[in-house]
Structure 1
Amino acid sequence: MTKRVQSYTQKVEMKKRELALEKKRSEALLYQMLPQQVAEQLKLRQQVEAEVFESVTIYFSDIVGFTEIAGKSTPLQVVDLLNTLYRICDDCIERYDVYKVETIGDAYMVVSGLPKRNGVLHCSEIADLSLDILLATEGMSVPHLPEVKIQVRIGLHSGPCVAGVVGNKMPRYCLFGDTVNTASRMESTGEVLEEVAVMYTPIE
């Protein structure tokens, strides 16, 4: 009987360790999708209020000619291309005080200055990140079209914005305001392989 109890106790302890490890993995995945403080509030079923940030810098980038490249590629090749590029970008952002907001198709959106405020450092953090990504992707070719070079176009903008969680089933941390819109326009009208000069929207 003593041996059975000991065996049962060992199994329970092992299951507890496995459960704790799985919980850490789940939380790590959750924190990649949402800011940690936001994720903690949602786990506690608390209402996450939208927040005004007076000074942030927003980064947008995309692949020039992506539609044409996609037209010459299979869906799996497009996924492979984006995975290759996004892994490079993800490695770059690990070195800076920035938060990856989302990726939509070939568009990559990053912000500094939220959800954790960092004074005026957000400008230099995003500017340095932009140069780092340009350097990391320099000379890079489409994996299945080696004659086609990947050209990254980047746009930045600084100013105030509002951030909040949208949705219940698949909540997303979204940014809103003129700063976001202007950063997107800076990217879409920018020069290929050049970092667009930072503009600043004054606080009203």
Structure 2
Amino acid sequence: MGAGASVKQRSKSALTRELDRETEQKYKSITEAEELLAKRELEHAAIVDELRAEKNHAEANLAQVQETLERESKKWRKDKNEALHMMFSDLPLVQLSQSSKSAALSSRMFSGCSDSLCKEFPTVTIASWDVVGFAELCSQLKPAEIVSVLDDLNSRADKTFADPNIVILDRLSDNSTAATGLVERYTKNSSNDSNDDIQSDEFPEAPSDFARLLVTCCLRLMSSVPAIAIPRHAGSLLQLRIAIHMGPCSAGAIGLQSDDRLPRYRLFGPTVTMVNWLRSTSLALQIRVSRACKELLFENGVGDDFALERCPDYTVKNGREVVESYWLTGIVGENDLRLPPLEKSLSLSQYTDF
């Protein structure tokens, strides 16, 4: 009995140790699994935090982009509305109804306007210029060279006639037209920067002031002609000629029914016809002004700084009307500005049948 009990006791002890070893191994495995799970949870949390940070950064960038886009869209809409308002109201070339003015400005809006689309102006000063012998010049130059010359000429004209009271209306090849007197008063509205405010007394109001402004700009344009380079014609001058006339005319917008094109402004009337006739019989490198323009320049006892020389009378196409005109030779005095002598112009021009 004693020996059997001893064997059972030893078997029980061995079984207990075996169970203890298995329990210890399972506990160790569970501990390792828990440590691995905790490590994975930390890695997952780090990934979640990184993704959350990227999400917040992306949301912040998106909000900034949306804010910038909204700001730029507002600026674009404001600039567009101001441009349309300037084109259709402030010039003023087209009269809009009060309902149209209060409505949102868009290019489609103007196609439905039934009000007066043409306005009469009692005193408008018009300048027209082109290049003498332009067809012959085109035959001697390559198309790209012609484009370069015209681009240089038009760029100088844009800079010269940058005054807001002057409107460049037509650009047909080498022929361009500018007018003043279409804007009664120009004021710059700058609510963002008070330093940009332009005092109203800096801008002309009387027709004679507008005429002097346009004539002075024409002289500046003509004086810049020698700087225009003609390819493969070194030393040659671009034979620009300018005519200026003053009188009543009508101004209107053409193309209001088009949905995808901006309307074009046009001037109509005998004044436009007369300035074109004066230009077509003018001389290279000279400015020809009509008697009406000359009288306007010297209105109220001013204008003595403009040097004028009587040119031969010109009979218009109907053969009955004789037009008195003058060569504008420059400005004398403090701001001295002279054009080339008339003899030089006669040698350059193909129009010598005076």
Give the TM-score, by structure 1 length.
Answer: 0.83
In the alignment, which residue of structure 1 is the partner of 2:238? Answer: 150
In the alignment, which residue of structure 2 is the partner of 1:130? Answer: 218
Mapped to 2, the partners of 1:112 and 1:73 lie a distance apart of: 34
Unaligned runs of 5+ in 1: none
Residue 130 of structure 1 and its aligned partner are, at CA, apart by: 1.3
Matched, 1:15 2:69: yes
Residue 31 of structure 1 and its aligned partner are, at CA, apart by: 8.3
Residue 16 of structure 1 and its aligned partner are, at CA, apart by: 1.1
In the alignment, which residue of structure 1 is the partner of 2:39? Answer: none
Larger radius of gyration: 2
Matched, 1:93 2:161: yes
Preserved CA contact (<8 Å) 2:81 2:106 = no
Mapped to 2, the partners of 1:83 and 1:29 lie a distance apart of: 24
Mapped to 1, the partners of 2:211 and 2:276 lie a distance apart of: 16
How many aligned positions are there?
200
In the alignment, which residue of structure 1 is the partner of 2:145? Answer: 77
Mapped to 2, the partners of 1:54 and 1:21 lie a distance apart of: 37
Query: Residue 127 of structure 2: which of 37, 59, 74 is its match?
Result: 59
Rate the CA distance shift 1:15–1:89 in 2: closer, same or farther, 3 A: same
The structure richer in helix per residue is: 2
Mapped to 1, the partners of 2:85 and 2:170 lie a distance apart of: 13
Mapped to 1, the partners of 2:268 and 2:218 lie a distance apart of: 22
Aligned partner of residue 146 in structure 1, secondary structure: coil
Offset from partner CA, 1:43-81 (integer Å, 9 cap, x none):
271426210000010000011111111111122111111
Offset from partner CA, 1:94-132 (integer Å, 9 cap, x none):
147311112101001100101436321221112111111
Query: Residue 50 of structure 1: which of 118, 122, 141 is its match?
Result: 118
Amino acid in structure 2 at the alignment position of 1:126:
L
Preserved CA contact (<8 Å) 2:165 2:183 = no
Mapped to 2, the partners of 1:131 and 1:166 lie a distance apart of: 31
Mapped to 1, the partners of 2:85 and 2:177 lie a distance apart of: 17
Matched, 1:119 2:206: yes
Matched, 1:190 2:282: yes
Preserved CA contact (<8 Å) 1:57 1:123 = yes
Aligned partner of residue 290 in structure 2, secondary structure: coil
Residue 9 of structure 1 and its aligned partner are, at CA, apart by: 2.5
Mapped to 2, the partners of 1:149 and 1:28 lie a distance apart of: 40
Mapped to 2, the partners of 1:26 and 1:80 lie a distance apart of: 30
Give the TM-score, by structure 2 length.
Answer: 0.50
Rate the CA distance shift 1:16–1:142 in 2: closer, same or farther, 3 A: same
Mapped to 2, the partners of 1:23 and 1:67 lie a distance apart of: 43
Mapped to 2, the partners of 1:27 and 1:199 lie a distance apart of: 40
Rate the CA distance shift 1:129–1:122 in 2: closer, same or farther, 3 A: same
Mapped to 2, the partners of 1:105 and 1:125 lie a distance apart of: 25
Residue 146 of structure 1 and its aligned partner are, at CA, apart by: 2.1
What CA RMSD, in Å, does the superposition of the two structures yield over aligned residues?
Answer: 3.0
Larger deviation, residues 69-78 vs 9-18: 9-18
Mapped to 2, the partners of 1:25 and 1:69 lie a distance apart of: 40
Preserved CA contact (<8 Å) 2:131 2:174 = yes
The structure richer in strand per residue is: 1
Residue 140 of structure 1 and its aligned partner are, at CA, apart by: 3.7
Mapped to 2, the partners of 1:29 and 1:70 lie a distance apart of: 35
Query: Residue 253 of structure 2: which of 138, 145, 165 is its match?
Result: 165
Structure with greater contact order relative to length (CA < 8 Å, sep ≥ 6): 1
